[in-house]
Amino acid sequence: MSITVPERVWWKPLDKGEKLWVAIALTWCLVMFIMMPLWHLQGKQNAPSETYRVSADQFEKAAAAFITQYRVGEEQGVPVVAPPSGSDIYLVARMWSWEPVLKLEKGKTYRLHLSSVDLQHGMTIYPMNINFQVLPGYDYVLTITPTEKGEYHLICNEFCGIGHHLMVGKILVV
Amino acid sequence: MSVPTAFRTCPTTGLKVHLPAENLIKANAVVAVVFFLIGVAMALLVAMTRWPAVHLLGDEFFYRALTAHGINMLIFWIIFFEIAVLYFASAILLNSRLAAPKLGWLAFALMLAGSGLVDVMIALGKADVMMTSYVPLKAHPLFYLGMILFAVGALVGTSLFFATLVIARRDRTYEGSLPLVVFGAATAAIIAVVTIAHGAIIYIPTMLWSMGIIEHIDASTYRILWWGLGHPSQQINVAAMIAIWYLLGALTVGAKPINEKLCRTAFVLYILFINLASAHHLLVDPGVSSTWKIWNTSYAMYLAVLASMIHGMTVPASIEVAQRRKGYTKGLFEWLKKAPWGNPSFAALTLSIVIFGFIGGITGVTFGTEQINIISHNTLRIPGHFHATVVGGTTLAFMGVTYYVLPLIFRRQVVAQALAKIQPYLFGVGIVMVSLGMTFAGSYGISRRHWDITFAGATLQPAVDPTVYLLLGIMGIGAILAVLGALLYILITVGTVLAGKKTG
């Protein structure tokens, strides 16, 4: 029994059923492993990313300059920004807002700079359900190409204090 | 050193029971159940807030209750119980004395002081930081101190387990290899040492930072190190749970491992590879490259998954063999039909295997791939996964073994047998509903750790798919069933310890 000492020699060959099961399980493990890098290349699902160190001050300055340059309006007190395709675009996460509202063009590629100026946040593109972790001190640069027109909300998925559930932003794809 | 009067012989199993070890097992198990009760109360409050039709708590108390729920369940309940399991698996199963029982009481005191401190800090509103306490979210220094004291206590308890293995070997209390259950417990203990080391590396500087002595803790570094604690601590649970699966197989139907080599190799695979799960939490993080993510979430081959697949076959197979040996050989499934379904320990064992394997395991392994992780990270799919592993799997297995601990260690006959028979089913069905409700709601992008999915009061109003309300209703009703099952477990346990008929 498993609560008593096993017989003196317990290193015994596996029987046929056991071997078969281990082989099936091992094959499954290999499929899982191969699929992850393969889908990375084939699936176009994981945005190519780079990371740079950045201070909250630096990031806020860069974002403010970006907002002033491409500002086209305002929604609920949040600036709406329409940057040219191929440009570096900024999204600031803070307690408890996403700034600015980004107006992007379908099929155009942008370099999205993502960082937090206070706590850790999480960006969910909703209801598409794509998630990225947003950390203070890190400039997370994602190369993105919107593929469908529409209005997408950004919600925060990492607990960031009492107003966490109020942290909603927006991306417009036109 | 060993005094003959320090032992009694168990009339049921014939095992020599070291009385100081027995007292420590009792103390740790009782305190575990107390923390379980706190966790259950918090669970009800949290679930009744996340069910939009009820939306019970205000935002502040919701986040506080959620912090308390996570820490009391995942850490205090489970680790106190595991320390009891470690003492049982070393001293009792090996017919040995427990090394240094006084240190065992020191470990117990440290863990109790630490967990008490943490709970007081949470209750005072000084630590609304969730179980993960991601920096720069800051708690009171005493919160981190409580965590450190608890971890040191757990490390002392784990060391006693290893010391007892050495003593038993030296005193020749058994001949040959360790029994499989002890081998599994040793696996859990080895993983525990690695886990607690990560805890010390990250909590000590974080405490100093919250005291103002250290100026800065890097958010990404914190996440890497904290998850070296966060996920492996759940792997301690996996290893302990599987050791208990083998134990319950033996106790309920007299199952023997069909091939010791296969079972033990699988435990060794856990030690070598299971740490990979900690990198799964960083799959959408900045700061680590895709290559790092792919390597560290698979170590090239998912060999820890292979280990679970092996146990998932060997445990049921050993039960089938034992049942067939009893003459239940008609057709493919007579052995299963004639299994002791009315024995709460067998019911808990079976439900634990099924819920852990088919819901917890499959969701966990798939979320661990980069592509599925990007759509599941920090959504309700994540708690949907771990309520199937840690609650439907580990907690249910612990409940099952409790029905043997009560007569064998506390020497009391289990009270309310009729209720005990339905308890695992009630809890199991409830937790499956919780898990599936959360998992499917999460696939609609609903966040975990979120007070209000309707975003009432926010400047912008995202539309929520109405299906989500149905799914969260399923979660809510499941939570009520699971809480009833849990309360029944607590009542039966406490009732037995206080008022059960004495045996032996």
A-interface mutation test, from B246, B280, B375, B377, most A Cβ less than 10 A away: B377
Tokens of residue A93, six digits: 């996460």
Cα B78 to Cα B66: distance, rounded to the nearest angstrom? 17
* pLDDT, averaged across chain B: 94
SS3 assignment, position B9: strand
Contact flag A32-B305 (C-beta cutoff 8 Å): yes
Amino acid identity at B157: G
Burial B411-430 (b: 16+ CB within 10 A, else e): bbebbeeebbeebbbbbbbb
B90-118 per-position pLDDT tens digit? 999 999 999 999 999 999 999 999 999 99
What's the DSSP call for residue A7?
P
What DSSP element (H or E) covers A49? strand A49-53
- Closest residue in chain A to residue B63, using alpha carbons only: A162
SS3 assignment, position B99: coil
Tokens of residue B489, six digits: 């477990």
Cα A33 to Cα B83: distance, rounded to the nearest angstrom? 35
Instruction: Give the pLDDT of residue B504.
Output: 66
With cut-offs at 50, 70 and 90, classify the pLDDT of residue A33. Answer: confident
B339-350 per-position pLDDT tens digit? 999 999 999 999
Contact flag A153-B444 (C-beta cutoff 8 Å): no
A101 beta partners? A80
* pLDDT, averaged across chain A: 93
Instruction: Judge contact between A82 and A108, C-beta under 8 A.
Output: no
Kindly report the nearest CA distance between residue A40 and chain B, in angstroms. 8
B246-288 per-position pLDDT tens digit? 999 999 999 999 899 999 999 999 999 888 888 899 999 998 8
Which residues contact residue B189 at a Cβ distance below 8 angstroms, ignoring those fewer than 6 apart?
A: B86, B158, B161, B162
CA angle, B80 as apex, B75 and B86 as ends, to 5°? 120
Return residues 101-130 of A near B (CB < 8 Å): 114, 118-120, 122, 124, 126-130
Which residue has 């889908």 as its token pair? A39
With cut-offs at 50, 70 and 90, classify the pLDDT of residue B450. Answer: very high
Is the CB of A3 inside 8 Å of chain B's CB atoms?
yes
Contact flag A40-B59 (C-beta cutoff 8 Å): no
Return residues 48-77 of A near B (CB < 8 Å): 49, 51, 75-77
Which residues contact residue B403 at a Cβ distance below 8 angstroms, ignoring those fewer than 6 apart?
A: B343, B344, B345, B348, B414, B420
With cut-offs at 50, 70 and 90, classify the pLDDT of residue B202. Answer: very high
Neighbours of B30 (CB within 10 A): 15
Which residues contact residue B27 at a Cβ distance below 8 angstroms, ignoring those fewer than 6 apart?
A: B108
- Closest residue in chain B to residue A12, using alpha carbons only: B261
Which chain B residues are closer than 8 Å to A12 by Cβ?
Answer: 259-261
Cα B501 to Cα B413: distance, rounded to the nearest angstrom? 5
B302-323 per-position pLDDT tens digit? 899 999 999 999 999 999 999 9
B95 in the Ramachandran plot: left (φ > 0), alpha (ψ -120 to 50) or beta? left
Q: Considering just the CA atoms, what is the radius of gyration of chain A in Å? A: 24
Instruction: Give the pLDDT of residue B383.
Output: 97
B9 beta partners? B16
CA angle, B360 as apex, B304 and A27 as ends, to 5°? 40
SS3 assignment, position B433: helix
With cut-offs at 50, 70 and 90, classify the pLDDT of residue B10. Answer: confident
From B60, B130, B374, residue closest to A130, measured CB to CB: B374
A-interface mutation test, from B181, B272, B302, most A Cβ less than 10 A away: B302
Instruction: Judge contact between A116 and A136, C-beta under 8 A.
Output: yes
pLDDT exceeds cutoff 60 at B1? no
A105-146 per-position pLDDT tens digit? 999 999 999 999 999 999 999 888 899 999 999 999 999 999
Instruction: Judge contact between B155 and B83, C-beta under 8 A.
Output: no
pLDDT exceeds cutoff 80 at A20? yes
Q: Which long-range contacts (CB under 8 A, 24 or more apart) does A142-145 make?
A: A142/A47, A142/A48, A142/A49, A142/A111, A142/A112, A142/A114, A143/A47, A143/A48, A143/A49, A143/A109, A143/A110, A143/A111, A143/A112, A144/A47, A144/A109, A144/A110, A144/A112, A145/A107, A145/A108, A145/A109, A145/A110
- Closest residue in chain A to residue B261, using alpha carbons only: A11
